[in-house]
Every structure is written in C-alpha cells, then in structure tokens.
C-alpha cells in the first residue's frame, strides 16, 4: 500500500476570492516574461515564443484570462496575459468566441497558439484550479503558483493535474512556477505536470514540485508512446511519492535538478523510454532511477549525479532500480546547447532560483544565480533606417500577383490586397505591432522563396515566421525585410506571421516565387 504524502502545505486555500469584473485591462507595462530565455527541447521545432510581440493585457480573474483569449482576432494572434491575484472556481467561467474554446472548471488553453501567461505584481495563484493545454502550440507559462487541484472531492478541476497537456500539443515552456498538492491519490490529487497523447517539445525549468503522490508523467499508458522531447532542469522535486517523472517511450533530459525526499521511486524510465540524467542532486530518497511497476524496460544515460543518503531496493519482478551504482545502458544525443552547473552546488542554486516569486533568476553554469533581462529582445538599434526590402527580386514570376490575400489583423485604411498588387506605395499594416497576412491560390502552388518589402515610414520587423497555412508547418523564420529561401512546398496558402516588431510594420509587398 502506497504511503500518503506526510507533509502538508503550511497555508491552504487563501481566503477571499477576487470579485473583480470579468473584463481585461490594457497594460502599458511590458510583461516580465523573459521569453528570450527559453531552454531545452522547447527551443526545437521552430522554438517557443508564446505571446511575444502581441498585445499585453492584465487579468485578475479566471474569466478575464478566458476573455483575453476570446477577444483576439484569431486563435493564433499572439497575446501576453499578465495575471495578479488568486484565480479560483468562484471567478472563473466559460467564455465563448471564435478565437477560443474555454471551460468553467479550469484555465483552458485549447485549440489555440502563441500565448504567454505570466504572474506579475504581488503574484498569481491558481487555487484548486488547474491549467489544461490541449491541441495547442507555442505556449509559455511563467511565474505562477498552481496548488491543490483535485480529481475527487470538491471542488474538482482538470482531472487532478496542476498542469496537464494532451492531444497534439507542441512547444510549451513552463518556467519559474510552483506546483503543489496536499497529499496523494487517496486525498484526491493526481499529477503535478502531465503530458500525454502526442505532446512534444516541452521544457520545465526553474520550478518547484512538492507535496504530491505523483510528480508527473509522459505518456498515459504503455501504448501511449507518441510523447517526448522533454527537458527538466533546475527544478526542485520535494516530498513526492513517485513519478519524478514517469516516462513511457520518448526522450527526456533531466539536468541540474534537486530531488529531495522521493518516498517510493523517482525517475521511472519504462516502455522503451530513454532518459539522459546529468548533474542532478538526489537527497534523502529511495530508488531515484530505474524501471518500476512494469516489465517493459526503459533506459538511461547517467553522468555527474550526486546520491546523498539514497537507498536502493533489491531488484525483483517489475521493480528494477538502477542503483546502488547506476550506470548507463543507452546513449542520448541532445540537439540543443546547455551548460551544466556542478551537481554539488545544485541544491544552493535551485533554492535561489526555482519557483514563482524568485525574480526569474537563472543559472549560467557558474553556480551563481543571475537576473535575466526583464523584457523580450528587440531590434538592437530601433532607430536605424528602415530596410526597404529586396532591391533585386528573385528570378521568375512573382506568384503573388493575381493571387488572393487575407489575414488575421488589419489596421484602419490598409488592405490585405495591397501586398499582392505590385505597388510599393500601398501597404498592409496589422492593428498594432503584430499580425498576419496570407497569399492564397485556388489550387496547390509550389513556393520556395518569399520576398518581404516594406513601405516608407514602416516600423521594423523584429521577428516573423512563414507558415504553410495548409499544414501549420513553419517554412522559415527571420527578422527585418528581404528575401528568404526554404524547401519547396506545395500549398494553397502561405502566411507571413509577424510576432515581434518595433513600431507598426507596413508591408508593401509579400512576394512569392517558385525558385
């Protein structure tokens, strides 16, 4: 019989639900989300920027968070939602709209993309209310606390998961958050950080997970092996019974984490999973690495870890710990750059950086916490002359001429059609600094180059993506104007998505070419 978690949070269920109205307020300040600091697997597959470059709003209720999502021009329009106060069942309702799909018993990030949720001011606490990410991409959650989310008892939310991801989720960065429960499954709680049903390219960094029966899982069953490419670094797992995490299939990278009081088991690699376990500090724990509760083996590559007062059980049946002297039984290639802190200083570094309310401090590998830049990186010289675009267009016909055009955001007095008329004195501008414009054809057309021309007086494009609108695939990304080449793609619609800009861009022409 599994033990219930002994330690309870010292303060539960903060009193006084906020009664603010459900609206959102425009904020003149920049969110403190350091989106440029994304690390790990969330940097892959085109990267994770969240709502960078989009509108910033402030919310003090769950309803206001949903309203901000539903007020966007489209489900992919970038937005940063600054959250302050206690978010709970009493101030969270379902909001409807064409750019959202919300629910009343959780914070619902469903069928959307390009969103940042960041705690500001005196902090953001999601009390007994989980965050659910489903069929979504490019999501950042930063500097918030999620506590006491239950799957049984009252009230219930999100299947008992503090943060849960499922069904074709891509590119999520969860950073400097605190995820807490007050017991295990018998007390009504489930996982703190769960991923299943084809969730990939996720990073959990500088976060605290504590006082729960289950830390989290990657894959809901032995057959759910479509998940993976997950990084866990500089996190504190404290007073967790098991699943720190449970990994079924896929690849995960765990480095510079502090594991303290893992009561029954820790990193559970099974069902063909491969875990790279670097420079972690395991303390006062039991069976911190291995394959547990299954006969389907998983694998690990270990190096530089410290095992401080760790006990190991004997191997028997479906219980196969890696210790007492863990050695590698696979190798894992990591595609991104990372710098390791020495394992001996991990407890100190993690104590100073991990969790909400720590000022988003990070480590640079020197064992000394650093304070990141408080804003997203922008143009290095916003006062430099505007790039007018390519002076010599690529050879061949501009396929945009005679095509159609539409988009997701349009400033008054401008037109989507102005980007395909061959006239550089007319232009399209988004209603703000970010938005998207598309060129479309009646039948599939092969495109391998695009030209972005800016009109006089234009703001500077800090970052953009070119998307195959038919599939959602990122064809290319960059900044400024000019010509960009990519692998030939047969498509009916190509989208220029501006995600960051200084001033308001004026796109005179969005040219497309076959070669």
Q: Three-state secondary structure along 294-313?
A: CCCECEEEEECCEEEEEECC
Helix (H, G, I), strand (E, B) or coil at 193: strand
Known catalytic residues? 243
Burial grade of 411 (CB within 10 A; 0-12, 13-18, 19 or more): middle
Supply 145's token pair: 């606390």
CA–CA distance, 128 with 145 (Å, rounded to integer): 11
Kindly report, residue by residue over 318-373, the tens digit of the pLDDT: 999 999 999 999 999 999 999 999 999 999 999 999 999 999 999 989 999 998 75
Kindly report, residue by residue over 156-168, the tens digit of the pLDDT: 999 999 999 999 9
Kindly report, residue by residue over 216-266, the tens digit of the pLDDT: 999 999 999 999 999 999 999 999 999 999 999 999 999 999 999 999 999
Write phi, then psi, for 159 (nearest 5 degrees). 65, 20
> 395: pLDDT confidence band, cut at 50, 70 and 90?
low
Q: In this predicted structure, what is the pLDDT of residue 373?
A: 59
Kindly report, residue by residue over 436-466, the tens digit of the pLDDT: 999 999 999 999 999 898 887 788 887 888 9
CA–CA distance, 225 with 139 (Å, rounded to integer): 22
Token match 């590998």: residue? 365
């Amino acid at each position: 019989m599994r033990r219930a978690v002994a330690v309870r949070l010292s303060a539960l269920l903060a009193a006084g639900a906020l009664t603010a109205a459900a609206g959102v307020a425009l904020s003149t300040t920049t969110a403190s989300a350091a989106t440029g600091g994304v690390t790990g697997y969330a940097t892959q597959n085109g990267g994770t920027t969240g709502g960078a470059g989009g509108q910033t709003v402030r919310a003090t209720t769950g309803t206001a968070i949903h309203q901000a999502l539903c007020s966007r021009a489209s489900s992919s329009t970038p937005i940063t939602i600054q959250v302050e106060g206690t978010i709970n069942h009493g101030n969270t309702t379902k909001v409807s709209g064409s750019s959202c799909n919300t629910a009343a018993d959780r914070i619902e990030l469903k069928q959307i993309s390009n969103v940042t949720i960041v705690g500001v001011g005196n902090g953001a606490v999601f009390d007994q209310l989980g965050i659910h990410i489903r069929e979504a991409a490019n999501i950042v959650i930063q500097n918030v606390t999620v506590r006491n989310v239950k799957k049984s008892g009252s009230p219930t939310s999100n299947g008992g998961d503090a943060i849960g991801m499922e069904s074709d989720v891509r590119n999520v960065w969860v950073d400097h958050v605190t995820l807490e429960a007050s017991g295990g499954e018998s007390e009504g709680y489930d996982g703190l950080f769960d991923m299943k049903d084809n969730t990939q390219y996720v990073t959990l960094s500088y976060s605290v997970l504590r006082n729960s029966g289950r830390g989290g899982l990657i894959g809901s069953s032995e057959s759910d092996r479509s998940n993976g490419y997950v990084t866990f670094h500089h996190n504190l797992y404290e007073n967790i019974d098991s699943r720190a995490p449970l990994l079924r299939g896929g690849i995960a990278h765990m480095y510079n984490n502090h594991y303290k009081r893992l009561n029954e088991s820790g990193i559970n690699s099974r069902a063909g999973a491969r875990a790279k376990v670097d420079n972690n500090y395991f303390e006062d724990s039991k069976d911190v690495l291995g394959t547990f509760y299954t006969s389907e083996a998983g694998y690990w590559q270990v190096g530089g870890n410290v095992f401080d007062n760790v006990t190991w059980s004997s191997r028997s049946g479906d219980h196969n710990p890696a210790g007492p002297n863990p050695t590698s039984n696979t190798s894992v290639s990591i595609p991104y750059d990372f710098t390791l802190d020495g394992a001996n200083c991990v407890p100190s570094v993690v104590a100073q950086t991990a969790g909400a309310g720590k000022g988003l401090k990070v480590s640079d590998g020197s064992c000394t916490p650093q304070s990141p830049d408080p804003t997203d990186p922008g143009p290095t010289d916003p006062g430099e002359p505007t790039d007018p675009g390519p002076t010599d267009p690529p050879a061949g016909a501009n396929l945009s001429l005679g095509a159609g055009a539409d988009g997701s955001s349009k400033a008054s007095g401008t037109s989507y059609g102005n980007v395909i008329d061959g006239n550089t004195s007319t232009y399209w501008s988004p209603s703000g600094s970010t938005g998207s414009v598309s060129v479309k054809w009646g039948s599939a057309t092969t495109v391998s180059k695009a030209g972005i021309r800016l009109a006089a007086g234009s703001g500077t494009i800090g970052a953009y993506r070119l998307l195959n609108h038919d599939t959602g695939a990122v064809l290319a990304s960059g900044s400024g104007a000019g010509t960009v080449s990519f692998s030939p793609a047969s498509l009916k619609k190509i989208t220029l998505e501006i995600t960051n800009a200084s001033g308001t861009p004026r796109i005179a022409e969005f040219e497309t070419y076959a070669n």
